[in-house]
Amino acid sequence: AKWVYTFGDGKAEGSAGDRNLLGGKGANLAEMCALGLPVPPGFTITTDVCSWYYDNGRKYPDTLETDVKKSLSHIAAITGRNFGDTEKPLLVSVRSGARASMPGMMDTVLNLGLNDGTVEAIARETGDARFAYDSYRRFIQMYSDVVMGLDHSVFEEILEDTKANLGHEVDTALTADDWKNVIALYKAKIEEELDEPFPQDPEKQLWGAIGAVFSSWMNARAITYRRLHNIPESWGTAVSVQAMVFGNMGDRSATGVAFTRNPSTGEKKLYGEFLVNAQGEDVVAGIRTPQNITEDARIAAGSDKPSLEKIMPAAFADFCAVSERLEKHYTDMQDLEFTIENGKLWMLQTRSGKRTAKAALKIAVEMAEEGLISREEAVLRIDPASLDQLLHPTIDPGAERNIIGTGLPASPGAATGEIVFSSEDAEQLKAEGRKAILVRIETSPEDIHGMHAAEAILTTRGGMTSHAAVVARGMGKPCVSGAGSLRVDYRNETLLAMGVVLKKGDIITIDGGTGQVLKGAVPMRQPELSGDFGQIMEWADKTRRMKVRANAETPVDARTARSFGAEGIGLCRTEHMFFEGERIVAMREMILADNEKGRRAALDKLLPMQRSDFVELFEIMHGLPVTIRLLDPPLHEFLPKTEEEIAEVAAAMNVDADRLRERTDSLHETNPMLGHRGCRLAISYPEIAEMQARAIFEAAVAAAKSTGAPVEPEIMVPLVGLRAELDFVKARIDAVAADVMKEADIKINYLVGTMIELPRAAIRAHSIAEVAEFFSFGTNDLTQTTFGISRDDASSFLMSYQVKGIIEQDPFVTIDIDGVGELVRIGADKGRAARPGIKLGICGEHGGDPASIHFCEEVGLDYVSCSPFRVPIARLAAAQASA
Ligand code: PEP
Ligand code: MG
């Protein structure tokens, strides 16, 4: 087998297509090299080696050692440098590279190959001893941390002490001799802590770093990350080894990161940051605040630090050309890492750049308009779930802003919450149902869980590409980074802002769109969905086959749904209409009546309210289909609970409170979700279904008149398991329909159908379809009843199922294709066999989940129905599913 792939000097053994084998980093280095771009030579050890390593008790394949040796000579041939050479020593970087970028793994070791001998050679060669010894101490620090497992804080202490003794504030004030002393102290500390010296042999160093990359594939953080992102363990990581180039060789050297377009707004302008006289990790770590690459960006940011364009115009021009070329080549916005060594540009990485949803839309639309990609491709480029970000509120433009600080607008959206200073506190608050704003000097991968739990993130250090900024954008959370005028004091848990001291628990608001930090809560506004969003939606709607409806019962929800492009209502849960105001009292009267006469008296009160609700819904939906479901939930949900409530209902019914309490107790059920609910209610008390049917038909007559658009209601019977249940209820509905039509002397077209939400209904769908004119799969109950897992109690133990790898995804979020999905498939097939062309939809939560929507397309459903805010997501996902 071929374990190692080389690249360099315009040639490469692999290409961008070899991502699975070479990892994202290795594959793109090979591709850039083959394109003739300036890439330091190197080689990539494949992901197959990683798998082999774990399959064979953490050993390497026999030939790997010779392969690596050969590949080192390949670098030597190009650079004229060798490991350990005391004239021209070779130094390399060692980096991990999985198929997907994976925080939590060992990332990078730089300057590998330095030792007591080679450091002198580097000093002589560059004529810069300070640079050489600074690099050596960085290497010792990094290597001891990530390879030997010695916490970097021990080195920071030594360095801080040294600076204090010398009376220096900044690292750059230290001379070569100062660094030599620091190095001696570092080495002594390593021996003391680890009982072994710092390795001097470069090959030994290299194997140490390779081993550290492979073992980091199985460290706890990487395992957690894989689980959260569904990355299989079998993928493994590759290791890329590459000749070093130095961004810290003086004022003609620099290192930076850039995006070919703005990752926050999507604007077609090179956007990035760099540091003069620095190495890669300095930019990402956010220790020094970086400078803008372009003059435009510098001016926009109001920065007085010169841009790269200004101070290194030639390297800047080269970089612009390379970035344009890479974007065209990959036909996507690229995220680039580069180093300038003595004025010469070197590319260290390219990959598709992470971006906000807003930027993703703009970039996709503009690339399609530029002819770089097709419209269909543009639609496929947008992650439907990310649209959620655009649906986040922003600060009302008219609101008063009590600004206490400003940082970079690192991730859009606004949020209000209580200040917390640790990820643990953020999680704690979230568990208590409170909203937290995570405030940190900077964040690291250890903070991911806290960032998940927080509403928004604020850091006082670091740029647009700092950890906090990148991760927040990925999560779609508002983030302000590098708010340098604010001071965080972890020990006292305070945030010092322009003379104001804020404590843990104080309320602040973060505006990720402007970078402002505001005191207190601020009025928010819902976003507008036009422009690029509208364009992508228009293109998506052209290719979409399935219709998208909304689950809505209130006028507000129905209007929201329409504004998001819903093509009807797929589920109106009528029970939700009975909780408001006086209605609940009438509803309770109805339930608690002990005979039909009493029930009918209460229903007479409810009829006009129901009718006016339906008129409003029909008017809002203006001729679009509306599916109304008959009363479904267990009656106990409506029962009066407190003494006060009992007294109120008793008075309304003119009965004794004690008798009412008795009746309430008698309605108690042990297992209400499997109890007296759904169509069972309509069978016990047909007058309820009749009242609802009457309200629907009378409303249809009224709305048809007021809008001029014909209304064709779809009446849906819940929780049917037996065909005879549907026969019974449908007969009542038809009778009411006939009455209303006669009274109004008008013909109403309507459908009577059923939910398929019990396994028996799916299995007997051919028989049920002889009666039902449409099916709507109620995958919430269908999941509950197929698994026998209570949908209300599942989260406590399903979490541990996921952690223990028993299930990959929560089946109440993403449809269980093998089980529940199979029942949907059976139900759909049998339904169509009995009634060709039967209208089929889904109205469980899954109707708004992109993966489940793909499944619905496969089964050939006619529509999905989801909550109003998910409608845009569903439209896009449905388009992608039918592509
Ligand atoms: C369902 O069960 O999937 C459904 C849509 O109904 P509900 O959630 O109201 O039970
Ligand atoms: Mg249900």
Residue nearest to atom 10 of ligand 1 (CA): 781
Is the pLDDT at 93 greater than 70? The verdict is: yes
Residue 2 is encoded by which pair of tokens? 């071929």
The alpha carbon of 757 and the centre of ligand 2 are apart by a number of angstroms equal to 6
**Among the atoms of ligand 1, which is closest to the Cα of residue 776?**
5
**Among the atoms of ligand 1, which is closest to the Cα of residue 757?**
2
734, 819: one domain: yes
Q: What is the pTM of this model?
A: 0.80
The alpha carbon of 795 and the centre of ligand 2 are apart by a number of angstroms equal to 18
Q: Are 457 and 438 in contact (CB under 8 A)?
A: yes
The alpha carbon of 97 and the centre of ligand 2 are apart by a number of angstroms equal to 46
Taking the alpha carbons at both ends of the chain, their separation in whole angstroms is 38
Query: Phi/psi at 405 (nearest 5 deg)?
Result: 175, 160
Residue 843 near ligand 1, beta carbon < 6 Å: yes
Residue 573 near ligand 1, beta carbon < 6 Å: yes
Is 696 within the bounds of a domain? yes
Last residue of a domain, one of 525, 558, 577: 525
Residue 844 near ligand 1, beta carbon < 6 Å: yes
Ligand closest in space to the Cα of 551: 1
Q: Which of 569, 572, 573 to mutate to test the pocket of ligand 1 (most atoms within 8 A of CB)?
A: 573
Q: What is the DSSP letter of 811?
A: T
Is 105 within the bounds of a domain? no
**Among the atoms of ligand 1, which is closest to the Cα of residue 843?**
5
Give the ipTM of the model, two decimals please.
0.99
Q: List, by residue number, the catalytic residues.
A: 467, 843
**pLDDT of the residue at 431:** 85
CATH number at residue 261: 3.30.470.20
**pLDDT of the residue at 117:** 96
Angle at 181 between CA 179 and CA 183, to 5 degrees: 70
Whole-number Å distance between alpha carbons of 134 and 139: 9
Q: Would you list the DSSP string of 22-64?
A: HHHHHHHHHHHHHTT-----EEEE-HHHHHHHHHTTS---TTH
489, 555: one domain: no
The domain tally of the chain equals 3
Average pLDDT of span 94-114: 87
**Among the atoms of ligand 1, which is closest to the Cα of residue 551?**
5
Helix, coil or strand: residue 799:
helix
Residue 779 near ligand 1, beta carbon < 6 Å: yes
DSSP E strand stretches across 183-294? 237-243, 254-259, 271-276, 291-292
Is the pLDDT at 446 greater than 80? The verdict is: no
The alpha carbon of 619 and the centre of ligand 2 are apart by a number of angstroms equal to 26
Residue nearest to atom 8 of ligand 1 (CA): 780
Residue nearest to atom 1 of ligand 1 (CA): 778
Residue nearest to atom 5 of ligand 1 (CA): 844
pLDDT in tens, 474-498: 676 899 988 988 999 999 999 999 8
345, 428: one domain: no
Q: Are 847 and 853 in contact (CB under 8 A)?
A: yes
Q: Would you list the DSSP string of 411-450?
A: E--EEEEEEESSHHHHHHHHHTT--EEEEESS--GGGHHH
The sheet that has 479-481: what strands, in order across it? Answer: 403-406, 516-519, 507-511, 414-420, 436-440, 456-459, 479-481, 408-411
**pLDDT of the residue at 100:** 86
Ligand closest in space to the Cα of 631: 1
**pLDDT of the residue at 284:** 62
The average confidence (pLDDT) of the chain is: 92
**pLDDT of the residue at 623:** 92
663, 711: one domain: yes
Whole-number Å distance between alpha carbons of 813 and 365: 30
Is 152 within the bounds of a domain? no
Q: Are 240 and 230 in contact (CB under 8 A)?
A: no
From 74, 45, 77, select the one nearest 61 (Cα to Cα).
Answer: 45
Taking the CA atoms of residue 317, residue 322, residue 328 and residue 334 in that order, the dihedral angle to the nearest 10 degrees is -110
283, 421: one domain: no
Ligand closest in space to the Cα of 842: 1
Residue nearest to atom 6 of ligand 1 (CA): 778
Strands 334-341 and 291-292: unpaired
Is the pLDDT at 580 greater than 80? The verdict is: no
Is the pLDDT at 285 greater than 70? The verdict is: no
CATH number at residue 411: 3.50.30.10
Give me the numbers of helices (H) and strands (E) for the chain, helices first please: 34, 32
CATH number at residue 679: 3.20.20.60
pLDDT in tens, 711-721: 999 999 999 99
734, 813: one domain: yes
**pLDDT of the residue at 575:** 85
738, 607: one domain: yes
Residue nearest to atom 9 of ligand 1 (CA): 573
The alpha carbon of 627 and the centre of ligand 2 are apart by a number of angstroms equal to 14
Is 71 within the bounds of a domain? no
Residue 791 near ligand 1, beta carbon < 6 Å: no
Query: Phi/psi at 370 (nearest 5 deg)?
Result: -75, -10
Last residue of a domain, one of 355, 372, 407: 355
Q: Are 263 and 333 in contact (CB under 8 A)?
A: yes
The alpha carbon of 433 and the centre of ligand 1 are apart by a number of angstroms equal to 25
Strands 394-395 and 524-525: antiparallel
pLDDT in tens, 512-562: 988 999 999 999 877 767 789 999 999 999 999 999 999 998 888 899 899
Whole-number Å distance between alpha carbons of 742 and 732: 16
pLDDT in tens, 690-729: 999 999 999 999 999 999 989 999 999 999 999 999 999 9
**Among the atoms of ligand 1, which is closest to the Cα of residue 777?**
3
pLDDT band at 808 (very low <50, low <70, confident <90, very high): confident
Least confident of 70-84, 258-272, 571-585: 571-585
The alpha carbon of 366 and the centre of ligand 1 are apart by a number of angstroms equal to 40
Average pLDDT of span 346-354: 94
Residue 765 near ligand 1, beta carbon < 6 Å: no
Is 789 within the bounds of a domain? yes
Residue 778 near ligand 1, beta carbon < 6 Å: yes
* Residue 285 structural domain: 254-355
**Among the atoms of ligand 1, which is closest to the Cα of residue 779?**
3
Whole-number Å distance between alpha carbons of 607 and 596: 16
From 542, 590, 541, 547, select the one nearest 570 (Cα to Cα).
Answer: 547
Is 575 within the bounds of a domain? yes
Residue 571 near ligand 1, beta carbon < 6 Å: yes
From 111, 158, 463, select the one nearest 305 (Cα to Cα).
Answer: 463
Whole-number Å distance between alpha carbons of 428 and 623: 48
Whole-number Å distance between alpha carbons of 531 and 232: 38
Ligand closest in space to the Cα of 776: 1
Is the pLDDT at 581 greater than 70? The verdict is: no
The alpha carbon of 153 and the centre of ligand 2 are apart by a number of angstroms equal to 56
**pLDDT of the residue at 153:** 87
**pLDDT of the residue at 467:** 77
Residue 781 near ligand 1, beta carbon < 6 Å: yes
pLDDT in tens, 636-650: 778 887 888 888 888
Is 262 within the bounds of a domain? yes
Helix, coil or strand: residue 119:
helix
325, 405: one domain: no
**pLDDT of the residue at 248:** 84
Ligand closest in space to the Cα of 845: 1
Q: Would you list the DSSP string of 539-554?
A: HHHHH--SEEEEE--S
CA torsion through residues 98, 102, 105, 111, sign: positive
**pLDDT of the residue at 640:** 83
350, 316: one domain: yes
Is the pLDDT at 860 greater than 90? The verdict is: yes
Helix, coil or strand: residue 301:
helix
657, 621: one domain: yes
Q: Which of 843, 845, 852 to mutate to test the pocket of ligand 1 (most atoms within 8 A of CB)?
A: 843
The alpha carbon of 627 and the centre of ligand 1 are apart by a number of angstroms equal to 13
**Among the atoms of ligand 1, which is closest to the Cα of residue 780?**
3
Residues in the chain: 883
The alpha carbon of 820 and the centre of ligand 2 are apart by a number of angstroms equal to 14
Residue nearest to atom 4 of ligand 1 (CA): 778
Is 17 within the bounds of a domain? no
576, 510: one domain: no
Residue 824 near ligand 1, beta carbon < 6 Å: no
Is the pLDDT at 287 greater than 70? The verdict is: no
746, 786: one domain: yes
**Among the atoms of ligand 1, which is closest to the Cα of residue 571?**
5
Is the pLDDT at 156 greater than 80? The verdict is: yes
The alpha carbon of 115 and the centre of ligand 1 are apart by a number of angstroms equal to 67
**pLDDT of the residue at 795:** 67
Is the pLDDT at 874 greater than 70? The verdict is: yes
Give the amino acid at 84: G
DSSP E strand stretches across 782-856? 839-842
